[in-house]
């Protein structure tokens, strides 16, 4: 019996050492938002109020090879099935010179280099009619697939303050169905950071193009375009603006996908005073949309003005008061899906 206990102890110790030696480094992060959202919609004669609650929990994994290359990836805790459609984590290889390569779910290099433009924080929001194709995102172009790679240069690439990137992806070889399907994608992006007096200036730009296939009518224009933006940080004040222009293929439903020509302009500022952060943002998008194979002729537009005040209550705990007003026009005329919304709540993050 004594011998059996010794053997069992030795086996347990061996397995314990092996598991430690083979384990990668892991970190966890997440947040939990809870609050009250109010809406005053043009489509409703009565204001509505509801409780809003959402949470996120993610795990990051990484390890360094003997050659100094860092291999990393990540996933959401609720993402038990990789094929469930919610997995967005690529495998990332970080090389000793500081450059990186994302493999699978890599995304678009154009989107990776858009400048962040401040807007109101919080869970407030207004959902406009699905037939309005206008966007408030400057990187609306450049859809990609899971079968892709994205390369990120090291800092100070060819010039101080410059970083660049490139991405490419392809389809899985299946024939296009009744709706449009991505066949290939490429994207380029660059970010340049410099100083001007007491200010830090960041300029970002991206260019992307995506080819689509369809078993019926081909799009008159492939998806693609460009965006450019800049931000200036002076002490506690940040001012930023961005602009995007190009063509988009918008998935609506089988046989009713839309091809869209659009432009988007965004401006915003944020100011930090002690434990208080104030943000204001404005975004305007205009679009012409039509069924796939038909260039758009009627105008859609989407304008949003947002503001928020956040207070750091304690470490990791932030109280937020936010507001947004949305104006929506579909096919050249006002429609009733616009309105305003406010939010009061707290965010607990770790």
Residue 207 CA, chain-centre distance (Å), reads: 16
pLDDT reported for residue 226: 95
pLDDT reported for residue 76: 80
Mean pLDDT of 67-92: 71
pLDDT reported for residue 293: 67
State the sign of the Cα–Cα–Cα–Cα dihedral 178, 82, 104, 243. Answer: positive
**What does the pLDDT look like over 218-234, one tens digit per residue?**
667 778 899 999 999 99
pLDDT reported for residue 90: 79
State the sign of the Cα–Cα–Cα–Cα dihedral 277, 278, 284, 289. Answer: positive
**What does the pLDDT look like over 114-158, one tens digit per residue?**
999 999 999 998 888 777 888 889 988 878 888 899 999 999 999
Mean pLDDT of 265-274: 97
Res 208 pLDDT > 70? yes
Res 12 pLDDT > 60? no
Mean pLDDT of 160-178: 85
**The tokens of 201 are what?**
């200036």
Mean pLDDT of 195-199: 94
Round to whole Å and give the CA distance between 272 and 278.
6
Res. 179 pLDDT band, cuts 50 70 90: low
Query: Nearest 5°: phi and psi at 261?
Result: -105, 125
Round to whole Å and give the CA distance between 309 and 105.
35
pLDDT reported for residue 78: 61
Work out the percent of the chain whose per-residue pLDDT is above 70. Answer: 82
Mean pLDDT of 14-22: 45
Report the 10 Å Cβ neighbour count for 258: 22
pLDDT reported for residue 297: 72
Which residues does 195 contact at the CB level (< 8 Å), separation at least 6? 201
pLDDT reported for residue 22: 66
Which residues does 82 contact at the CB level (< 8 Å), separation at least 6? none
pLDDT reported for residue 250: 74
Residue 252 CA, chain-centre distance (Å), reads: 20
For tokens 């678009």, the residue is 108
Range list of H helices, the chain: 2-22, 109-112
- The whole-chain average pLDDT of the chain stands at 84
Res 19 pLDDT > 60? no
What structural domains does the chain harbor?
29-349 (2.40.160.10)
Mean pLDDT of 283-303: 81
State the sign of the Cα–Cα–Cα–Cα dihedral 78, 84, 88, 91. Answer: positive
Res. 97 pLDDT band, cuts 50 70 90: very high
Res 82 pLDDT > 90? no
Which residues does 22 contact at the CB level (< 8 Å), separation at least 6? none
pLDDT reported for residue 95: 95
pLDDT reported for residue 18: 41
**What does the pLDDT look like over 234-266, one tens digit per residue?**
999 999 999 999 988 876 554 457 788 899 999
Res. 332 pLDDT band, cuts 50 70 90: low
| Beta-carbon-side half-sphere exposure of residue 256 (alpha carbons within 13 Å) | 5
**The tokens of 223 are what?**
């998806």
Res 83 pLDDT > 80? no
Work out the percent of the chain whose per-residue pLDDT is above 90. Answer: 53
Beta bridge mates, 290? 259
Res 283 pLDDT > 90? yes
Res 287 pLDDT > 50? yes
Mean pLDDT of 339-344: 93
Beta bridge mates, 133? none
């Amino acid at each position: 019996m004594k011998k059996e206990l010794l053997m069992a102890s030795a086996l347990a110790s061996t397995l314990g050492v092996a598991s430690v030696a083979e384990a990668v480094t892991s970190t966890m992060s997440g947040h939990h938002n809870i609050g009250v959202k109010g809406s005053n919609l043009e489509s409703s004669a009565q204001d509505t109020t509801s409780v809003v609650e959402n949470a996120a929990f993610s795990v990051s994994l990484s390890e360094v090879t003997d050659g100094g290359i860092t291999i990393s990836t990540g996933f959401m805790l609720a993402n038990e099935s990789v094929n469930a459609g919610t997995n967005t984590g690529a495998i990332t290889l970080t090389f000793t010179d500081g450059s990186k390569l994302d493999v699978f779910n890599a995304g678009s290099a154009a989107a990776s280099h858009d400048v962040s433009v401040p807007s109101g924080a919080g869970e407030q929001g207004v959902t406009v009619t699905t037939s309005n194709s206008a966007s408030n995102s400057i990187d609306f172009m450049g859809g990609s697939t899971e079968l892709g790679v994205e390369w990120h240069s090291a800092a100070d690439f060819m010039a101080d303050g410059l970083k660049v990137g490139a991405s490419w992806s392809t389809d899985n070889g299946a024939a296009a169905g009744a709706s449009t399907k991505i066949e290939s994608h490429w994207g380029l992006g660059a970010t340049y950071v410099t100083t001007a007096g007491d200010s830090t200036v960041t300029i970002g730009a991206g260019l992307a193009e995506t080819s689509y296939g369809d078993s019926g009518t081909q799009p008159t224009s492939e998806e693609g375009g460009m965006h450019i933006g800049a931000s200036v940080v002076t002490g506690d004040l940040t001012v930023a603006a961005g602009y995007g222009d190009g063509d988009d293929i918008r998935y609506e439903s089988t046989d009713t996908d839309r091809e869209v020509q659009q432009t988007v302009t965004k401006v915003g500022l944020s100011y930090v005073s002690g434990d208080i952060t104030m943000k204001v943002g404005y975004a305007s998008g205009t679009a012409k949309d039509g069924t796939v194979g038909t260039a758009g002729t009627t105008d859609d537009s989407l304008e949003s003005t947002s503001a928020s005040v956040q207070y750091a209550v304690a470490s990791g705990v932030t109280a937020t008061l936010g507001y947004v007003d949305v104006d929506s026009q579909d096919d050249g005329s006002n429609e009733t899906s616009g309105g305003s919304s406010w939010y009061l709540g707290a965010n607990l993050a770790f």
